[in-house]
Structure 1
Amino acid sequence: MFNVTRKTRSLFFFLALGVTFYALIRLQPEGYKPPKRSFYIHDVNDGGEFVLHDDNLGIRMFAIVGSAWQSLSHQSVVTLCTQGNLDYMGNLPYLGSRWKGPMSIAIYVPGIDWDLTRMFVEHLNHCYPEMVSRTNYQLLPFPNSAPFSPKPDCRSSKQVLKEILSHRTAKHEEFIANDSYPYNIMRNVARDGVLTSFILMSDVDHVPNENIFDTLEDFIRQERILYGKKRAYVIPQYELNRTKGATIPRDKSELLELKRRNLSGTMYEEFFPQFQHCIKTKLWETINGTNESAEPGLAMQVNFSFSCEMTLVHKATDPYFDERFRGYGCDRFSQMLELYAAKFRFDVFTSLFFVHLGRKGLQDTKGHKPKKLAELRQNQKRMVTFIEDLNEKYQVNTCQMIGKDRAWMGVDVPWTVLHICPSITRPNQTQH
């Protein structure tokens, strides 16, 4: 365990995940479901650095806990969860500047990235103490590295990160590029570091509108009946044309002004319109106040559509992400499909949104790389067995539900759905 100063222990709570012997994930048999992790963060009133053990998986996790995280979690009802590897950590200051509540962040740290990740953690600790004080990070595995004290550097986090990443070797870069990122394991680890009743799961390169934490706190506290309901709440996702200087909008009016000037658009709308189709963003953009037919703070009910991926707010006890999905494709959607099979209702917030920082511009729509295509096809095969498991778990016919509901969505059925559910026909076909 690191020897840390009182100042460091009181400043930040950092939760990051790396996987012990990374092959542990890559070499599991198809359909493998790991046992629930046995470590959990508790009794950390003053924050600090801890080593947590998981006897089931034979791993050790290094956790850094912010001084205000536990008390703030007990005062709040919702925590923002996110995950990523070192390459995306430069987005954290943007995220932390908008989200003012507790955060749980899982960072993927394969052993070769350990020292570089610690360097950037020290940068955050020194330059963003308020954000770090209410944040929970975990790094796994814990390699017993010697502590170090890099020179404080509070320039742009993006620039600091770029210089840190320059220390990667060519072999290091090849490992990162060829590995299949464990998205759903990371999301679940971030969830395990939550003390509140509700969670908001987002990606680390997504930034919300201002005052989102206060808005969600007020909404959930006023809607106490939600605690006993199968409900999930949707936040639309947009992206910016940053090549033309678009800045992150503070509220919905600024977002719509950027859209009018062709500086923002629905996420992935050019090359994968199904991604946000179920949210009906064109209708959402016209609703300024509460829709008369919806509950206060909500614009409308969202109707599930296969391949539609939503940023959700829901109870922390709701279904986790299925960890059989690794790499690109079907990973986040797997949880939404399970919520659908469990007959959850989805409603979209009137004024909340996220902006994706990952792409450089609205026209950045290059095709998938061979590695992503290979991961997608493998996950599509996993989706077949996943649907079978859902049918057994909830005693439903998931394909039949999709076939019934998709017709009035006005969107064609992706070929992936036809492969997984061959009984579903396209709109211009007749079922025999």
Structure 2
Amino acid sequence: MRGACLPGNRCLGRGPLALIVIGALALGELIGLLVINRIDPSPAPGSSPPSSPQQRRVDSAVPVDEEVTPAGGARGVHILDLLARRTPFKFDEDAIELDASRKYKIARSFLSPDAEFGSPDAGEVCLATQSSLDRLHTLVELAQLWNGPLSLAVFVANAAQFQALRAYLALLRSCSEPVRANVRVDLVFPVGVNVTRAVPWSTRGGGGGPEFSCSNHASLLRTLHTSGGARVVRGNVKQMLYPQNHLRNVARDGCSPQKHFFVVDIDVMPKPGLWDELSDFLASANSGRRLPCAKCVFVVPTYEAREMAPVPRTKRELLAMVRRREARPFHEKSFVFNQYATNHAAWEALPHSEDGLHAAYRVQRYEFFYEPFYVAGKEVPRYDERFVGYGFTRNTQVYETHAAGFEFWVLDEAFALHRGMQNHRAKGYWRERQNTLNQRKLAGFKRDVKRKYLVTAAKTTLPPATKPPLL
């Protein structure tokens, strides 16, 4: 396996080859990037190839008085910095937005895909997701499986995380065709933090900078996340909160050229080919196929399996995993109400369909803690940004969608798989505290929903103020 840059005196191979490649990079030639091992860009089974790429923007070249080195230095350029410079990031201080609370800044289109969202080749639906730096290793698989427009909102807490994010995204974009073609990235960061401040790469342990290649990009991410000041200490509620709902809304906005969006967490993997199937299903509705309701959202049943389990290609393969107890409904053991209303038993019993997706049945027993992953149009309510950190972030949006009169319909052949089994475990004081603080905001949220939609008290009843589960 060839590494692009290794600690010590090795970089981009050995002997004459290294000198040739380093010389090429120093002259500003992109050919130097080709020595990095490629992640297989072939689409997942059942999915279509990416849309036609656009012309890529080229960032600034390396100054002529700098040289490419494994570790950088006073005059040197670290190869990760060079890779980031060759990536069309956009960070315009004059275009930065403030969120409604004025606590966060938003850099839209921080990284744009080669393919154009909203084009005839982009289908009917865009996947929207959000992440912090430490969870980004799942992006490559997510982009490969989805293989369509994907909007990602990333939260960075400081300059070290910002620099690490640029380096990691640059590597993924160089390595993965689905990432390069289809992934748009927006950035969210705290007000008052100068994320563009230069931070030297850590030389902890006598290395010369992080080791990386395409095949071990997850290892690079772990190194980047723990080096310098990239780690965020999560000691108590006064530490920096993760603004999940702000990020979900930003990711939704990134999908805006598309007619529909599918909001998932970054560790939830769609069935291979789901983008194609959803696009066909939604396009047929636009061309005259009658939907079961005027205000529909479409639930994608979600299961969970061990971290490294392969994503099943078909519903039959998924059901075989369920029979072998290798997969089960998402949160079935940790908090059953999270997905209970989907009625996985009814979904598993549906007859197999060979002619695409269908809205099989309506969710009948909605409960407040229901948190399905679903496909919807732009008219559904946004995520309420008063809920910051952990607790009551997704279920309040589902609740408002229900109060607004939308019906939840379960799709027959669609599914998604969460990476990792969810079991009962202690969440720690910091997460308990955030959950409790968010619960205190429920009464005001209830009043606002009731006033906004003029619905009955029965429909807006919330659970009693007991200790909530950790969601």
Offset at residue 12 of structure 1 (A): 9.0
Say which is worse superposed, 156-165 or 102-111, in terms of deviation. Answer: 156-165
**Pairwise mapping of residues 286-305 of structure 1 onto structure 2 (< 5 A)?**
286-289=349-352, 297-303=358-364, 304-305=366-367
User: C-alpha deviations, 1:70-114, integer Å up to 9, x for none?
Assistant: 364774221100001011100001101110111110001112411
Offset at residue 60 of structure 1 (A): 5.6
**Aligned counterparts of 1:88 and 1:231: Cα–Cα separation in 2:** 31
SS at match of 1:136: strand
Match of 1:430 in 2: none
Match of 2:335 among 262, 265, 272: 272
Residues 1:229 and 2:275 aligned together: no
Match of 2:218 in 1: 158
**Aligned counterparts of 1:173 and 1:123: Cα–Cα separation in 2:** 26
Offset at residue 377 of structure 1 (A): 1.6
**Aligned counterparts of 2:112 and 2:224: Cα–Cα separation in 1:** 23
Match of 2:97 among 42, 45, 54: 54
User: C-alpha deviations, 1:223-270, integer Å up to 9, x for none?
Assistant: 12669921111011111134xx63221221111111111111111111
**Pairwise mapping of residues 145-224 of structure 1 onto structure 2 (< 5 A)?**
145=197, 153-169=213-229, 172-174=232-234, 178-194=239-255, 195-224=257-286
Residues 1:316 and 2:378 aligned together: yes
Match of 1:343 in 2: 405
* CA 73–125 in structure 1, closer or farther in 2 if over 3 Å, else same: farther
Residues 1:392 and 2:435 aligned together: no
Match of 1:383 in 2: 442
| 8 A contact 1:330–1:380 mirrored in 2 | yes
Please, what TM-score do these two structures have when normalized by structure 1? 0.75
**Aligned counterparts of 1:211 and 1:148: Cα–Cα separation in 2:** 42
**Aligned counterparts of 1:109 and 1:10: Cα–Cα separation in 2:** 28
Offset at residue 383 of structure 1 (A): 1.5
**Aligned counterparts of 1:391 and 1:252: Cα–Cα separation in 2:** 39
SS at match of 1:190: helix
Report sequence identity in percent: 25
User: C-alpha deviations, 1:138-175, integer Å up to 9, x for none?
Assistant: 22447344699988621233222122223145974447
**Aligned counterparts of 2:57 and 2:211: Cα–Cα separation in 1:** 18
Residues 1:143 and 2:204 aligned together: no
| 8 A contact 1:233–1:314 mirrored in 2 | yes
Match of 1:370 among 409, 422, 429: 429
**Aligned counterparts of 2:299 and 2:123: Cα–Cα separation in 1:** 20
| 8 A contact 2:127–2:150 mirrored in 1 | yes
Offset at residue 418 of structure 1 (A): 2.4
User: C-alpha deviations, 1:356-396, integer Å up to 9, x for none?
Assistant: 11x3x46x421332222211122122111111101000111
Match of 1:35 in 2: none
SS at match of 2:425: coil
SS at match of 2:171: helix
* CA 145–65 in structure 1, closer or farther in 2 if over 3 Å, else same: farther
Say which is worse superposed, 56-65 or 348-357, in terms of deviation. Answer: 56-65
SS at match of 1:96: helix
Give the root-mean-square deviation of aligned CA atoms: 3.3
**Aligned counterparts of 1:170 and 1:76: Cα–Cα separation in 2:** 37
Return the letter of the residue paired with 1:268.
H
Structure number having the greater helix percentage: 1
**Aligned counterparts of 2:188 and 2:401: Cα–Cα separation in 1:** 29
Residues 1:79 and 2:130 aligned together: no
Gapped runs of 5+ residues in structure 2?
1-27, 34-53, 59-86, 202-209, 467-471
Say which is worse superposed, 314-323 or 60-69, in terms of deviation. Answer: 60-69
* CA 48–85 in structure 1, closer or farther in 2 if over 3 Å, else same: closer
Offset at residue 115 of structure 1 (A): 1.2
**Aligned counterparts of 2:433 and 2:399: Cα–Cα separation in 1:** 22
| 8 A contact 1:12–1:125 mirrored in 2 | no
| 8 A contact 1:69–1:135 mirrored in 2 | no
Residues 1:401 and 2:459 aligned together: yes
**Aligned counterparts of 2:106 and 2:406: Cα–Cα separation in 1:** 35
**Aligned counterparts of 2:275 and 2:349: Cα–Cα separation in 1:** 23
| 8 A contact 2:125–2:261 mirrored in 1 | yes
Please, what TM-score do these two structures have when normalized by structure 2? 0.69
* CA 231–171 in structure 1, closer or farther in 2 if over 3 Å, else same: closer
SS at match of 1:218: helix
**Aligned counterparts of 1:176 and 1:107: Cα–Cα separation in 2:** 22
Residues 1:253 and 2:316 aligned together: yes
**Aligned counterparts of 2:227 and 2:236: Cα–Cα separation in 1:** 14
Gapped runs of 5+ residues in structure 1?
14-45, 404-415, 421-432
**Aligned counterparts of 1:228 and 1:118: Cα–Cα separation in 2:** 44
SS at match of 2:455: coil
Match of 1:282 in 2: 345
* CA 168–75 in structure 1, closer or farther in 2 if over 3 Å, else same: same
